[in-house]
Amino acid sequence: EYSISAAAIAIFSVGFAIIGTICVLLSFRKKRDYLLKPASMFYTFAGLCIIISVEVMRQSVKRMIDSKDTAWIKYSYSWSFACACASFVLLFVCGLALLLIALPRFPQNPWETCMDAEPEH
């Protein structure tokens, strides 16, 4: 039952990543910079869904090992666990970096507001 929950959360992660990619592609194609902020949030949400899915799966394995019905001598995580952790780090960090890139520049002077700043394009 835990593995089904982990798979469902991972599917949400894939959906968030696909929506984020669509936003980025539309932003670059039509010069719509306002789509970069939602794209960064979708990538960040995808990373969070992956780490939640990994933790649910890890707890499932831990519960199975601690069960009295199974006798385990030794276990180790496979390469897919490392790939899931690496994808969490990449999606989360790149989502935050994209959000920082998409933010408007800060005012140079204390009396200047963001609305007074010169446009970048």
pLDDT digits (tens, 9 = 90+) for 78-109: 888 889 889 999 999 999 998 888 877 666 66
pLDDT at 15 over 90: yes
pLDDT, position 41: 92
pLDDT, position 116: 57
pLDDT at 1 over 70: no
pLDDT, position 120: 61
Domain borders along the chain are 1-63+79-102
pLDDT digits (tens, 9 = 90+) for 28-80: 877 777 888 899 999 999 999 999 999 998 888 888 877 777 777 777 778 88
Confidence of residue 112 (pLDDT cuts 50, 70, 90): low
Helical ranges in the chain per DSSP H: 2-30, 36-66, 79-102
pLDDT, position 74: 72
Handedness of CA 100, 105, 111, 115 (dihedral sign): negative
CA-to-CA distance for 29 and 26, rounded, in angstroms?
5
pLDDT, position 28: 81
We find that the CATH architecture of domain 1-63+79-102 is Up-down Bundle (1.20)
pLDDT, position 5: 87
